[in-house]
Amino acid sequence: MKRKLFLLTAIILSFSLVLTACGQKDIGEAKAKKLALDSINKLFQTNQTEATVTREQMGCLPDQVGAMATNGNAGETSRWVYIVNVPLNDATAKYESLVIAATGEVVYLSQNSANIILTDKQEAQAYQLYKDEKKWGEKHYDALLSLKEACKSWAIANLNESHPVILEVNRGRMPSGTISTTFGNEYYIVTQEAKVYYIAIEWPSMQPIVISVENVK
C-alpha cells in the first residue's frame, strides 16, 4: 500500500512539474518589442517605432542571488530571449536589444556608431586632439577622465542612481590600437542595489554604444 502511495505521489509531482514547465511565463513578441523600443528611445535619445523581433534560446551562466556565477565546473544553462532589431539596412543593425522572455527585463542595448553625429564643437575637439597627439599621451588621458565623468553623469541621468560607482574595464590602462579622431572606453556601473551595468561610451560625443546588465537574475 505504501509503495502504491509513493508511486502515486511521484506521478502527481511529475505531472505538476510538467504543467509548471509548460506554463512558464513569456511576455510575448509585442510586449518585448515595446519594452525594447522604449529603452532604445530613452537611452539613445532617438524615436524609433518599428523593429523586427525574433525569439531564441541563448546560453548563460547558472543564476545565483544577485549575480551570475558558475557552480565550479563552468556549467551553463539557457534562457529564452527576444532579439529586437531596428535595421539600418539588410545586413546591419541600427539599434539592437535583448529582452528576457520570462521577465521582460531589457538586458542588452546597442547602437551603430554611424548614428552618432558630432556637433561642430565636438568635431573641433576631436581634430585638435588628433593634431596635438599622434600617440596615446597625456591629453588623451585627460580626455579619458572626462569620458569617465560623462559616464557617471549618464548613469545619474538615466539609471535613476544618485551615487553610481564607475569602474574602468581596462583599470586605467590606455586603449590600444591606432589613434583616431574619436575613441571610446568601457566601464562598469554599480548601483546601490548591487546591479552591475557594462557600458561602452565614445569620446567626444559622450554617447553610449553598448549598454548591458552584467548580473541578470
- Domain assignments of the chain as residue spans, ordered by start: 25-114, 117-213
Give 15's pLDDT tier (boundaries 50, 70, 90): very low
Give 87's pLDDT tier (boundaries 50, 70, 90): very high
**For a pLDDT cut of 70, what percent of the chain falls above it?**
78
**For a pLDDT cut of 90, what percent of the chain falls above it?**
65
Distances (CA, A) of 199 to 17, 57, 166, 168, 183: 39, 24, 10, 10, 14
Which of 10-19, 25-34, 113-122 is predicted with the least confidence, judged by mean pLDDT? 10-19
3 state DSSP class of 181: coil
Q: Note the pLDDT tens digit of each residue in 107-158.
A: 999 999 999 999 999 999 999 999 999 888 899 989 999 999 999 999 999 9
Q: Note the pLDDT tens digit of each residue in 49-68.
A: 999 999 999 876 555 433 44
Which of 76-85, 145-154, 185-194 is predicted with the least confidence, judged by mean pLDDT? 76-85
122 Cβ neighbours under 8 A, 6+ residues apart:
204, 205
pTM attached to this predicted model:
0.80
